[in-house]
Copies of this chain bind each other. A is one copy, B any other.
Amino acid sequence: MANDIYERDLDRNPANYQPLSPLSLFERAARVHPDHPAVLYGGVSRTWGETHVRAVKLARALRASGVGEGDTVAVLAGNIPEMFEAHFGVPMAGAVLNTINTRLDAPVVAFILQHGEARVLFVDQVFGALAREALARMDGALPLVVDIVDPGGEGNVGVGDTNYEEFIERGGKIVLEPQPRDEWQAIGLGYTSGTTGNPKGVVTHHRGAFLGAVSNVLVWQMQRHPVYLWTLPMFHCNGWTFPWVLAAVAGTSVCLRNVNAPDIFAAISRHGVTHLCGAPIVMSTIANAPEALRGSVGHRVECMTAGAAPPAAVIQAIEEMGFGITHVYGLTETYGPATTCEEKPHWAGLPARERSELKARQGVRYPMLEGLMVANPDTLEPVPRDGKTIGEIFFRGNMVMSGYLKNPRATEEAFRGGWFHSGDLATWHPDDYVQIKDRSKDVIISGGENISSIEIENVLFRHPSIIDAAVVAMPHPKWGETPCAFVTVRDGESLGAADVIAWCRDNLAHFKCPTRVIFGAIAKTSTGKVQKYKLREQAVSSG
């Protein structure tokens, strides 16, 4: 019989309970560090105090335009200050921020605007042509369109009814109610790239955004006042929550439109960048930059990467520059990274190859993700932690989305059995670290044997003349499927299909070896993920 003395007269009230929200971190940064630079971009430099003033104006203008709780505000923009501000101003109005991938095509952008029911669309004029085409394809009510005019942008096209600077003056002194009312309130809407069918709208909330942001501070062991370079698109899972992370640690955002080696290294030196995130392609760009650039930085930069395991050569090259590299993993559905390959002190003493292999694993749960397991997708029975048995990765906890917008069927499927189904296949090591072997739909089933495309890719990556590689299934009359390899050869070197296959036979069980090799650049998404469905089409069409 449970005692109830702790159930009496000890209820929540405004003094002892407030909804968790990154807005509280933002308000704190603005009050405690009002004069610290929050955002730098070209000639623009704004403090946390100034950014707060502008975010309040944005929120008031949205309210004055009839936008409030449960309304979607879309942004189609690069990594510019207005995009950063929107991460605070939009939720301060109670609205939901829908950042749209600028590399999508117009029909998909139109689909997103329509499905998300955007009331307002902020358009960076650099993407004005895309927005115009998308708007022309929409049925029904159009959003209010507001142009963001960046004098430094190239190929600006005006499309809006007004511009951002005029717009944010519209709200006057409207009083904003405290937001959110409830920590479960939606804060973000992000569409997954979706390799087939229409993209799904991932809904995230204030509680998760707050905990995700704080988790990143812990995982990356961030100190106060970092200088963060935006090499990761903010449209991608809200920049992995980093606008809010930077509020938590009163950091400085260095905005960057074009992610290329000269711009990256110039920003690092000029602003004393301490942290950056990016897909593997960003890490390769840094690792393979000309020696003159790589040698130009006199301080340590912490790099965080996700999307695919960083190849050993990249890890080594980055560490040899005196930079740090942290490998994390997650999905749009988990606010970006939700597992981390937390480095053990004793790894430092291991040979480079062994260390790189350990670091290439996806790792362990974030502190605010309460559950992570590799399990049988049908029974949800965890696989043994033997580093061999393959299962699906499952997430559970406060860093998992509320669900897919207007898609109860997909939501239900994703959460079947009380765990979020990632669709990624992995093994579970005895030390609790998970390691992705494949997307469930990317596994190659040859003669009844499961072949991990990633295992073959790892072998290909170790070949000294190969700088990029991907493997997909290709139909085979006898075996059902067989691996087809896509390979990019280092400039100035040459390699034939027979060489590649021989290399694989030397390093893999024979049934796992590719039977076809296709040379050239490999199709990737805007976030650097290999587009395996395109490769599968290529494999068939070139067969």
By a beta-carbon cutoff of 8 Å, the part of chain A in contact with chain B is: 2-18, 20, 24-25, 28, 31-33, 68-72, 96, 117, 184-186, 203, 208, 214, 217-218, 221, 223-225, 248-249, 342, 344-345, 364-365, 367, 370-371, 395-398, 400-403, 405-408, 411, 414-415, 418-420, 432
CA gap between A218 and B249 in the complex, in Å: 8
Additional pairs, 7, CB under 8 Å, beyond known A6-B96, A16-B415: A6-B186, A9-B406, A15-B400, A16-B402, A31-B364, A214-B214, A225-B345
Contact A18–B396 (Cβ < 8 Å) = yes
- A400 — which chain B residues lie within 8 A by C-beta? 15-16
The answer to whether residues A18 and B70 also contact, given A10-B186, A10-B402, A345-B225 and a CB cut-off of 8 A, is: no
Q: Which residue of the partner chain, among B18, B214, B223, B401, contacts A16 with CB atoms under 8 Å?
A: B401
Q: How many copies does the complex hold?
A: 2
- A208 — which chain B residues lie within 8 A by C-beta? 16
Tell me the nearest residue of chain B to A201, going by C-beta.
B5
Distance in Å: Cβ of A212 to nearest Cβ of chain B: 12
- A224 — which chain B residues lie within 8 A by C-beta? 221, 342
Q: Which 3 A-B pairs have the closest CB atoms?
A: A14-B418, A9-B408, A18-B370
- A406 — which chain B residues lie within 8 A by C-beta? 5, 8-9
Tell me the nearest residue of chain B to A409, going by C-beta.
B9
CA gap between A345 and B227 in the complex, in Å: 14
The answer to whether residues A68 and B2 also contact, given A225-B345, A408-B9, A415-B13 and a CB cut-off of 8 A, is: yes
- A117 — which chain B residues lie within 8 A by C-beta? 3, 5
Distance in Å: Cβ of A371 to nearest Cβ of chain B: 7
The answer to whether residues A395 and B15 also contact, given A5-B70, A203-B10 and a CB cut-off of 8 A, is: yes
Contact A418–B13 (Cβ < 8 Å) = yes
Contact A17–B70 (Cβ < 8 Å) = no
Contact A69–B2 (Cβ < 8 Å) = yes
CA gap between A469 and B342 in the complex, in Å: 48
Contact A18–B203 (Cβ < 8 Å) = no
Jot down 7 A-B pairs with beta carbons below 8 A, ordered by A. Answer: A6-B186, A9-B406, A9-B411, A15-B418, A28-B364, A31-B432, A218-B218
Q: Which residue of the partner chain, among B16, B24, B415, contacts A420 with CB atoms under 8 Å?
A: B16
CA gap between A72 and B2 in the complex, in Å: 11
The answer to whether residues A15 and B396 also contact, given A2-B68, A70-B4 and a CB cut-off of 8 A, is: yes
- A415 — which chain B residues lie within 8 A by C-beta? 13, 15-16
Distance in Å: Cβ of A188 to nearest Cβ of chain B: 11
Distance in Å: Cβ of A198 to nearest Cβ of chain B: 16
- A403 — which chain B residues lie within 8 A by C-beta? 9-11, 16
The answer to whether residues A5 and B405 also contact, given A28-B367, A396-B14 and a CB cut-off of 8 A, is: yes
- A367 — which chain B residues lie within 8 A by C-beta? 24-25, 28, 214, 248
- A225 — which chain B residues lie within 8 A by C-beta? 345
Distance in Å: Cβ of A250 to nearest Cβ of chain B: 9
Distance in Å: Cβ of A244 to nearest Cβ of chain B: 11
- A221 — which chain B residues lie within 8 A by C-beta? 223-224
- A395 — which chain B residues lie within 8 A by C-beta? 15
Tell me the nearest residue of chain B to A66, going by C-beta.
B1
Contact A18–B71 (Cβ < 8 Å) = no
- A15 — which chain B residues lie within 8 A by C-beta? 395-396, 400, 414-415, 418-420
- A407 — which chain B residues lie within 8 A by C-beta? 9
CA gap between A253 and B155 in the complex, in Å: 59
- A3 — which chain B residues lie within 8 A by C-beta? 69-72, 117
- A9 — which chain B residues lie within 8 A by C-beta? 403, 406-408, 411
- A185 — which chain B residues lie within 8 A by C-beta? 6
CA gap between A11 and B412 in the complex, in Å: 11
- A408 — which chain B residues lie within 8 A by C-beta? 8-9
Contact A365–B418 (Cβ < 8 Å) = no
Distance in Å: Cβ of A11 to nearest Cβ of chain B: 8
Q: Which residue of the partner chain, among B18, B214, B223, B345, contacts A371 with CB atoms under 8 Å?
A: B18
CA gap between A504 and B407 in the complex, in Å: 73
Distance in Å: Cβ of A111 to nearest Cβ of chain B: 15
CA gap between A529 and B24 in the complex, in Å: 32
Q: Which of A6, A17, A70, A400 has the most CB of B within 10 A?
A: A6
CA gap between A198 and B371 in the complex, in Å: 43
